[in-house]
Structures are given as structure tokens and as C-alpha cells.
């Protein structure tokens, strides 16, 4: 019986923890879409926004009509003052002996010196800032998804290059063995070719392992199960050239959600400061109450009243001044944080723009280098096949071609990674 229950609990736990599984084509944009759908960071940002929204609704409800019901049953040796159990509540006197009291109270705030209005405005700014922070979480998630995708794309391209290099060295080994059987080359060249094939196979195994590791990291970043299977679209084209640095800075100042959140935080602080100034203003409320009380020997006595409640604080021992100073310090702190963020933004955009520009130039140069190395490899192979070239010359040309191909792949995907950083710095998804 215990084993059956344990098995049921484990089955329920496995179902509850099941991760989504994706099968199909995967591009950089599709990876971003999946990360936005399944990433825990996005869900956490949504929950935090819900909390701020609930706080704004709670603040707004403070200026609404409130009605409370209460009941008291007591037995005392002398008359006592009790507070009603309702909200809002009021005080009533219960006579000596046994008594039972039913009461109701309604209260509508009429004037509070703007205190509730400023608090509500602050809560609204906080809600808007939480939406901006949601956008920050979306940006961060998109950036990491792109980086993880291009890590996999580079690993796949390097795996294909390693397979191509291994195939070329095996073909070269076959040609050397044919020449050895014909007595045209020495035995040490065959051994050298076999060593080159073994090295190529080791590099191929390493490339395959890196690809599997990067794909596992990508699945984790997207919030998907390890059972997901991706069909990748070849992406070896370079990104587009970015706009000018001045335009990039202007775009970032307009779109960066963390900058928007910092500006809204200052507005929230201003409203909280005004609320602190108005907290000790006169307050006026409309109050209505009704009760019905029965006591031993007196029967039931119903009653009702309607009136205005007015209060005005005269002295608080310095509490108001302390709250105002704290609110002013908070505003100054948020203004300084905004200035610091603006400086950080300019630095990030400048670095990202320079990095993307450099990566695009390096990718173009790597393309030229690969074209030259491929041609040298083709010529060296032809010379060796007609008996006009040396094996070592062809081996050097093949190694140079492999290096050029590897450099081109690194340059292309470095440009993609730099583009992801540039998009993040300028506030794009």
C-alpha cells in the first residue's frame, strides 16, 4: 500500500514538473519567441507587476466608501467601552450585566489635503515603472536567447568544418597511400598522413561534444525539455550595418526601458514627497452608523446617527519633518541613479556600436582570407595530383584553408553576438 501511494506521488510530481517540448525549425527569432513564452524570468517579472498593480488598486480603494458590520456579546460588572468588530469601527459603551450589540458603520472620506491623491499618483507611477521593468526582463531574456542560439549555430558550423577537414585528410591519406604503393613517396609521408587523420578525428569529436553542450545550454535558456529536437536553418550571413552612433544613442534614450523606469521612479518619489507633506493636513469624512443593543433588564434599544468627522493634527513630535526629509532624500537618490544610468547607457551603446562595427569589418576580411586560402588549397591539390607539388605544400595549404574557414565562422558569429549586445544596448528586442 505504501509503495502504491509513493508511486502515485512520484507520478504526480513528474507530471507537475514536466517541461515543454518543442519539435521543429529553429531560427534566432524563433528562439526569442520560445524564450519569451517559457522563460521563468519573464514569468517572475509578470508576477512582480501583478503585485505592484494590486498595491495600486489597494491604494485607490482607500478613498472609497467603506461599510462594516460588528457584533458584541459581553457580561461585565460595570459599564465598559468596546470597539466594534467591523471595519470601519466605532466605540460604544456597554452597560453592566449581560448585553448583546449589533452595529453597522459607513464612512466616506471627503477631504484629506491631497494625501490620498498623491499616494494614488505614486502608486500609478510605480505600476508604470513595473511595466518598464517587465520590458527590461524581456530584453534580457531575448539577448540571452540570441546569444545561446548563435553559440549553437557556431558550434554546428565548426562541426561541419571539422567533418569537412576530416574528409579532406582521409582523401589525402588515400592519395599518399596510392603514391606509396607506386613507389613515388616515402613511408614517413604515409605515417604523417595517418597522424593528420587521427588529429582531424580528435578535432571532430571535440567539435561534436561542444555542439551537444551548447545545444543543452540553449534548451535550458529557452525553458525547454532536453527531449526537444531542433531543425536549424543555416545562418552564415552577417548582420546589417548599424545606424550611426548619434542615432543609436538617440534611439537608446527613447527606448531603453530601464531608463523609462528610472524616470518614472523619480515621478513616484515626487508624489510620495507631496503625500508626506499632505499627510498631516486636516481630514473630513462623512460618517453614518446604526446599532441595536439588548441588555439584561433593559430590552432592545435601536439607534442611528449621521455626521461629519473632522480631525487636525497639531503636534507629532517631529514625525512629519522626518518623513519629509526621508522622502526628499529618496527623490535625490533616484535622480542620482538616473544620472548614473544615463552615463552607463552612453557607455554601453558606444561600446556595443564599436564592437558591432569592428565585428562586421573582421567578418568581411575573413571572407577575403577564406577565398584566398581556398584558391591556394585548390592549386596545391592540383599540383600534387600531377606530380608537380610536394605533400607538405599541400598539407600546409589545407591547414591554412581550415584556419581561414574557422576564422570566418568565428568572425560571422562574433558579429551576431555583437548585434545581440547592440540590440540590448539600444533598447530593442
Domains and CATH numbers, the chain: 41-63+114-280+331-425 (1.20.1600.10), 68-111+285-315 (no CATH)
Burial class (CB in 10 A: 0-12, 13-18, 19+), 410: middle
Global pTM? Answer: 0.72
Task: Provide the residue-wise pLDDT of the chain in tens; the chain has 429 residues.
Answer: 445 544 544 444 444 457 888 898 888 888 888 888 887 778 888 888 888 888 888 888 888 888 888 777 777 777 777 776 556 666 677 777 787 878 888 888 888 888 888 888 888 888 888 888 888 888 888 888 988 998 998 898 889 888 988 998 898 888 888 888 888 778 888 888 889 899 999 999 999 999 999 999 999 888 888 888 998 876 667 788 888 999 999 999 888 888 888 998 899 889 888 888 888 888 888 888 888 887 776 677 788 888 888 888 887 778 888 888 988 898 999 899 999 999 999 999 999 999 999 999 998 998 899 899 889 888 888 887 777 777 778 778 888 888 888 888 888 888 888 998 998 898 887
* Residues, the chain: 429
Q: What is the DSSP letter of 186?
A: -
Query: Counting Cβ atoms within 10 Å, is residue 279 exposed (0-12), middle (13-18) or buried (19+)?
Result: buried
Which among 407, 360, 369 has a CA at the least distance from the CA of 154? Answer: 407
Q: Helix, strand, coil % (nearest 5) of the chain?
A: 65, 15, 15
Cα→Cα distances 375→171, 237, 372, 390, 398, Å: 18, 21, 5, 17, 10
The CA-to-CA distance between both ends of the chain, in Å, stands at 54
Cα separation, 331 vs 338, whole angstroms: 11
Rounded Cα distance, 103 and 401, in Å: 92
364-373 own/partner pairs: CB under 8 Å, 24+ apart: 364/238, 365/411, 366/404, 366/407, 366/408, 366/410, 366/411, 366/412, 367/408, 369/404, 369/407, 369/408, 370/401, 370/404, 370/405, 370/407, 370/408, 372/404, 373/397, 373/400, 373/401, 373/403, 373/404, 373/405
Amino acid at each position: 500500500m505504501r509503495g502504491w501511494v509513493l508511486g502515485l506521488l512520484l507520478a504526480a510530481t513528474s507530471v507537475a514538473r514536466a517541461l515543454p517540448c518543442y519539435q521543429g525549425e529553429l531560427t534566432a527569432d524563433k528562439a526569442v519567441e520560445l524564450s519569451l513564452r517559457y522563460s521563468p524570468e519573464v514569468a517572475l517579472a509578470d508576477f512582480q507587476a501583478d503585485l505592484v498593480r494590486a498595491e495600486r488598486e489597494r491604494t485607490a480603494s482607500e478613498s472609497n466608501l467603506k461599510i462594516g458590520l460588528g457584533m458584541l456579546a459581553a457580561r461585565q460588572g460595570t459599564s465598559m467601552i468596546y470597539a466594534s468588530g467591523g471595519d470601519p469601527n466605532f466605540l460604544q459603551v456597554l452597560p453592566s450585566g449581560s448585553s448583546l450589540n449589533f452595529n453597522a458603520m459607513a464612512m466616506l472620506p471627503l477631504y484629506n489635503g491631497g494625501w490620498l491623491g498623491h499616494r494614488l499618483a505614486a502608486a500609478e507611477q510605480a505600476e508604470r515603472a513595473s511595466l518598464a521593468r517587465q520590458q527590461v526582463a524581456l530584453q534580457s531574456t531575448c539577448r540571452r536567447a540570441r546569444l545561446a542560439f548563435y553559440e549553437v549555430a557556431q558550434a554546428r558550423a565548426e562541426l561541419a568544418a571539422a567533418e569537412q577537414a576530416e574528409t579532406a585528410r582521409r582523401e589525402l591519406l588515400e592519395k599518399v597511400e596510392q603514391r606509396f604503393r607506386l613507389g613515388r613517396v616515402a613511408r614517413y609521408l604515409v605515417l604523417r598522413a595517418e597522424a593528420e587523420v587521427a588529429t582531424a578525428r580528435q578535432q571532430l569529436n571535440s567539435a561534436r561534444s561542444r555542439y551537444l553542450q551548447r545545444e543543452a545550454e540553449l534548451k535550458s535558456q529557452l525553458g525547454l525539455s532536453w527531449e526537444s529536437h531542433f531543425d536549424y536553418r543555416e545562418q552564415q550571413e552577417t548582420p546589417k550595418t548599424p545606424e550611426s552612433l548619434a542615432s543609436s544613442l538617440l534611439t537608446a534614450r527613447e527606448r531603453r526601458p530601464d531608463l523609462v523606469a528610472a524616470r518614472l521612479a523619480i515621478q513616484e518619489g515626487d508624489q510620495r514627497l507631496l503625500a508626506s507633506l499632505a499627510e498631516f493636513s486636516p481630514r473630513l469624512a462623512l460618517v453614518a452608523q446604526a446599532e441595536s443593543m439588548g441588555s439584561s433588564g433593559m430590552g432592545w434599544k435601536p439607534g442611528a446617527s449621521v455626521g461629519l468627522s473632522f480631525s487636525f493634527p497639531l503636534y507629532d513630535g517631529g514625525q512629519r519633518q522626518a518623513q519629509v526629509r526621508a522622502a526628499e532624500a529618496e527623490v535625490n537618490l533616484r535622480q542620482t541613479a538616473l544620472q548614473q544610468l544615463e552615463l552607463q547607457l552612453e557607455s554601453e551603446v558606444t561600446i556595443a556600436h564599436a564592437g558591432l562595427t569592428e565585428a562586421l569589418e573582421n567578418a568581411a576580411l575573413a571572407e577575403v582570407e577564406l577565398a584566398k586560402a581556398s584558391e591556394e588549397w585548390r592549386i596545391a591539390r592540383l599540383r600534387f595530383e600531377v606530380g608537380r607539388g610536394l605533400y607538405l605544400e599541400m598539407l600546409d595549404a589545407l591547414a591554412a584553408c581550415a584556419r581561414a574557414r574557422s576564422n570566418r565562422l568565428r568572425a560571422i558569429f562574433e558579429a551576431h553576438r555583437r548585434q545581440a549586445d547592440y540590440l540590448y544596448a539600444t533598447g530593442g528586442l
